[in-house]
Structure formats: structure tokens, C-alpha cells
Structure 1
Amino acid sequence: MDNSKRTAVLLVNVGTPDEPKVSAVRRYLFEFLNDRRVIDLPLIPQKLLVNLIIVPFRAPKSTKLYEMLWTDEGSPLLVNANKNRDKLQASLGNDYQVFTAMRYQNPHLRKVLRQVRDQRFGKMIIIPVFPQYASSTTGTIGQFVSKEVAKWTVIPEIRFVSQFYDHPAFIKAFTERIKEFKPETYDHIVFSYHGLPNRQVDKVHPEIASTECTCEQAMPEHGKYCYKATCYQTTRLLAKSLGLKPDDYTLSFQSRLTKNWLKPFSDELVIQKAKEGVKRILFVAPAFVADCLETTVEIGVEYQELFEEHGGEKIQLVESLNDHPLWIETLKELINS
């Protein structure tokens, strides 16, 4: 087949350990946390923090969490990625070839890019599957691709999808997924996004600190690539699509490492709502298109325990898009737009 007339489509996610064992988790964390865009401290402090403190102590704890997450098929993140690949391939037809790629571990982005190079595709579309741009996710994928492709003799036409949080197809897909869980039957809805250090957000618009920005009320002019601003805009779009009133929902940020991360914190919000007498919360995680450690375990298990401990009853996690037909349609629209 003449690949010069075909398009390679790369669906790129962060990554996952190869298996729920300490050695595999350690390898994953080592590669992930040594990325200068993920932990953006000066080089020596970063290396000391990651390799002498975080990885050695975090690997055994994270392994126990991955053991809870793992299924008979393997890591849900990779399982769903491959389902997306296969379903999208079937929908697009022979003019395209769809690849699963991970920024860290397997199938590694470097290996997949070399497959594309060796098979001499005429065009390449790269979709980091993160609705909202962040330097530590979409940014690191873009940087990695640029460095790899710069070594190629022949560089094909390349299109890079930097974000899609406001794409009508994405909003429709998440809206329909939320509706499946009957949001009207819950006392409150929480839209929870992965947190980031304030300093990383501030780098996008250094003239305006993220803690002083008004993006909670409306999308500012400087907010196009600001993770915090796009998270709030995603929530407003979903709330409008669902017909929610402002009092029906709250936005928060999870998975924090320090107090100097984006607020409000999801775990603190869970406690607050329980103390206020809220009994049933519906959790939505629109920064994730596939269920993973942060959704299934952190929200579905850890937050449930925290909620019950302070008087709440039920936290229901809205299943992510995973391999939902509307998510496949969203990917197809991103490719054809």
C-alpha cells in the first residue's frame, strides 16, 4: 500500500506502568517525573527530589493503587486506548492508520513515531487526548514530537491538536455521559480536574497571577492556553448543556502534591459538602477521557471513604468517555476539521 497518500493518526496519552508491580511502577514514575515539563524545578533540585525521595517512596504506595485499578485485560487506560484505536480505524477507513502511543512507557511515543517514519506516511495528525492544554501534558508531547521529527530526512505534513475542551462534539459526548447517571437525582455535582502547581499556570500569563485571575466568572482574553481558565470554561459549557444552575455544581482540582496548587481542592470540598449535610454527590472528571488511577481509585474509592467519614453517603463517579461512540465521533471530527 502506498502510504504517501495515507494519514497516520496518533492518539497520545500520558502512559501507564506495564504491570502493577513495584519495578514497573518505578520505571514509569522515573520517566514521568524526570520530565522537565512535569516537575519544572531547577535541574539539580528536581533530580534529587525525584530520584532520591519521590520515586523510592512513592513507587510501593502507587503499586498498591495500581493493583486496585488493574483488570483482567490490563491497565484500563491502555485497554481503552486500544479500543479507541480500533473503533476509530474502522470508522475512518483505509485512508488512515490509527496508532496508540504513550508519552511514557509502552507503547512509547518514540517507537510509534519511528513506525510512522519508516512506513513513510504522507501526513501525520497528533492528538494528545487532553481536552485542556497544559505544559506538563500536551506541551511535553509537542516538544517530544518536535525533537524526534527534527531528526527525520523527510518530514511529512503534520497537524497537532493542542486542545478541544470547547469542541461541540466533546461537550456533547460528556453531556450525554453525565445524563446517563441522572444528575437530577444528586444533591450536588462536582466537576473535578487534575490539579497543577500555581507556578506552571502563571507561566502562561506571567502578567496576571492565576490566584488573581477572573476566569472563574468568564473566559479572559489571555486564557486560551491557560489550564485553569479552560477548566472553568469547560465546566460552564457542560453546565449550560445540562441546564444546571450555579448552585447545582462546584469546580475543584484533585491530585495535589502541595498547598501551592490550583484551588479549591477536591478532597477538601468533599469534606466541606459532607459537613454541610450533602448526602449524594455526582463527580464528573472532564480532564480525563479515559478512566484511570485518578478517577477510578482517587475519586471512586478514596473520596468515597472520605465522604462517609464526615457524614456523607454516596459519591458516584461519572464513567469517563472511554470507548463511547460519541467519543469516537469526537475524535473523527477533530481529525477531519
Structure 2
Amino acid sequence: MKRALLIINIGTPDKPEKKAVKRYLTEFLNDKQVIDIPWLLRKILVNLIIIPFRVSNSTQLYKRLWKKDGSPLLTYQNKLTEKLNQKLKGEYDVFSAMRYGNPSLKYVLKDIMKNKYDELLVLPHYPQYATSTTLSTINKVKKELKDFADAPKLKFVDQFYDHPAFINAFVHNIKMHDVDSYDHVVFSYHGLPDRQVNKMHPGINSPDCTCHVAMPEHGKNCYKATCYQTTRLLASALKLDKEKYTVSFQSRLSKNWLMPFTDVELIELLKKGKKKILVVSPAFVTDCLETEVEIGYEYQEDFIKNGGEKLQLVESLNDSDAWVNGIAEIIKD
């Protein structure tokens, strides 16, 4: 059987310049599953309010993120794809694309179709399932392939937050730091609007919700539940006491997003005398704006300014050998 593996990440601007950043944000934020409000209201909000007011600041952030060889998200993904092609040679031909921006999912899928594969396995690069990331990516793949009469058999890895290979790869990176030398560990996940989480798991914010203490039976596709379960699995592997770590959410756009907020939580920990903090971001398998700039620069600067001694970000999985081997295990299962 001739098989292809397609890895899809969220995306990045082509350049850290206003025109490129605006083009990227326009495609990203106009996705109805990213901002899930009525069409007309979304168009007004995104194109007349959010983008005009955010593009300049976002461009400055991308300039801070950018390396000599370009966007880390794209650079790491390209290297990861090369390593996987070597690792899986004879089993899969490995391709990579971005949900928004380049390399375009549309054109990568066209290239895949030229090779007449029997099976296409799609791995959205998001450990925890969310409609705004995973489902949006899956729907886009299906849409682009629907007009091909000879499309290959499609399979999807919809999430892998609890796969031992993913957990072990992150534990490997965390152990590169002396965890015992830190006062506290913060597991920071990308935030989501409460309304999106409520659609998948009604009552998520009610006092009766137990996602933060145990994985509910109906929580498989609840983003909040899978984030807390990811943390429990990592903490167990690291033998962390419950008092030693905290779960929080970053990158919010309003107060009606998943709480507690990471930046607020870091200051609260400072007030409790926790001056050395290790931050892990298990929602990101590749370092990007949210890890390197938001946590590694903005949160760190604020933490130190308020009296903290050290805020250390754990490097994500990127193109590490541990993650190459991890993906090989995940797709076999």
C-alpha cells in the first residue's frame, strides 16, 4: 500500500512585515471556527476592528520571534518533515503544510494527489482536540479533497495528548532542567473562549465540573478536560506533588476565556513566595509566538519586574529525535 503522512500546523506569516502579517491574520481570523459568531458580525469585528488595531503590534512581535532562517514554526516543521521521511522511509512519504499561510494546505494536497496514494494519514499538530484548530483543519482537508474522484483513503489523528510517546517526549525535555531547583511548575495551555468549550462540554464552568481533578467519561473532546489530563500524566511521570504545579491558560482576548490566566497566575505565585518558576507549554509541539515571545519574553519580563528571580520556559518538542520517534509510535497506533 502506498501511503502518505501529512503534518499540519497552524501557520505563520511569510515575513515579519505588516503586509504579510495582515494577510495571515485575515485568513486566520476569518475562519468561522476560530471566531464562531454570525458571518456579518465576524466580518465587521475581524476586518474593521481586530486586524486594523492589532496588525502593527503583531508585526513587532513577529519581528522579535523571527530568526535568521525565518519563522521557527516553519523551520522546525521543515526539519521535522525531513527527519520523518528518513525515519519512515518505505512506510510513508511525509509532507507538511500550514492551516493558514504557506506552505498552503491546498497546494500541498494537490501535490499529494499527483502521486496516487492509497492512503493519506493526516496529523494535525495539536495535542488536545479543539474545534478552532483540529476540527477546522480536518474540515479543510476534506473540503480540498472532495472534488477528487480518486482521493486516497483518509485517516486522521484527532488528538494525542494522552499517548505515551507524546508524554515521554515532553518529559524528556522537562528533565533537561533541574525541576527540583524551581519553586513551582506552571503548565500553560493556549486559551479558548468559554463559549467554544461549552459547546463541546456544557457546564464546563459550573461548580459541579470536575475536569480539573479527574478526566470525565464525556470529556474526550473537551479541550479543558484534556489539558488537565495532559498535566496529570506529565506530573505523574515527573513524580510532582499536587502542590508543586499549576494549570493555567494564556493568549486570551477577553475575560470570558478559560481561567486561570497564566500571566495573572504567575504574579499570584510570586505573592506566595514562588520566585523561581518553570513553565511548560504542552499545547504546543513547536515553539512559536506564544511560547518564545509571549512566555519567554513578555511574561518573563513582567515576572522579573515584579520581584521574581527566574522564569524558565521548557523548549517544545520541535524537531527533536524524541519527537520524531514519538510521531512514529503515534501513527503506528
Aligned to 1:9: 5
Aligned to 2:218: 222
Residue 292 (1) aligns with residue 280 (2)? no
Residue 25 (1) aligns with residue 26 (2)? no
Distance 1:211 1:140 in 2: 27
Residue 204 (1) aligns with residue 200 (2)? yes
Q: For residues 14-72 of structure 1, what are the alpha-carbon distances to aligned partners after superposition, in whole Å with 9 as ceiling and x for unaligned?
A: 00000100000000000000000000011111110000011111111001011111001
Residue 264 (1) aligns with residue 224 (2)? no
Q: For residues 132-175 of structure 1, what are the alpha-carbon distances to aligned partners after superposition, in whole Å with 9 as ceiling and x for unaligned?
A: 00001111001111111211111211110000000011111101
Number of aligned pairs?
Answer: 332
Aligned to 2:69: 73
Contact 1:14 1:104 (8 Å CA) reproduced: yes
Amino acid at match of 2:131: S
Amino acid at match of 1:135: T
* CA-CA distance at 1:211 after TM superposition: 4.2
Q: 1:254 aligns with which of 250, 256, 260?
A: 250
Distance 1:276 1:205 in 2: 33
Q: For residues 273-322 of structure 1, what are the alpha-carbon distances to aligned partners after superposition, in whole Å with 9 as ceiling and x for unaligned?
A: 12222111000000000100000000011111111222112100000001
Distance 1:308 1:96 in 2: 47
Distance 2:185 2:281 in 1: 11
Alignment of 1:135-154 (within 5 A): 135-154=131-150
Aligned to 2:319: 323
Distance 2:91 2:308 in 1: 52
Aligned to 1:280: 276
Distance 1:273 1:28 in 2: 36
Distance 1:23 1:195 in 2: 27
Give RMSD over aligned pairs.
0.9
Where 1:221 maps in the other structure, the secondary structure is: coil
Q: Percent identity?
A: 56
Distance 1:146 1:163 in 2: 17
Distance 2:292 2:70 in 1: 14
Contact 1:188 1:280 (8 Å CA) reproduced: yes
Where 1:223 maps in the other structure, the secondary structure is: coil
Where 2:133 maps in the other structure, the secondary structure is: helix
Query: Which aligned runs of 4 or more in structure 1 are off by greater than 6 angstroms?
Result: none
Distance 1:17 1:187 in 2: 37
Distance 1:211 1:306 in 2: 32
* CA-CA distance at 1:95 after TM superposition: 3.5
Taking structure 1 as reference, are residues 154 and 19 closer, same or farther at Cα in structure 2, changes over 3 Å only? same
Where 1:38 maps in the other structure, the secondary structure is: coil
Structure 1 segments unaligned to the other structure (5+ residues): none
Residue 54 (1) aligns with residue 50 (2)? yes
Structure 2 segments unaligned to the other structure (5+ residues): none
Of the structure 1 ranges 133-142 and 89-98, higher mean CA displacement relative to structure 2 is found in 89-98
Contact 1:191 1:249 (8 Å CA) reproduced: yes
Alignment of 1:301-312 (within 5 A): 301-312=297-308
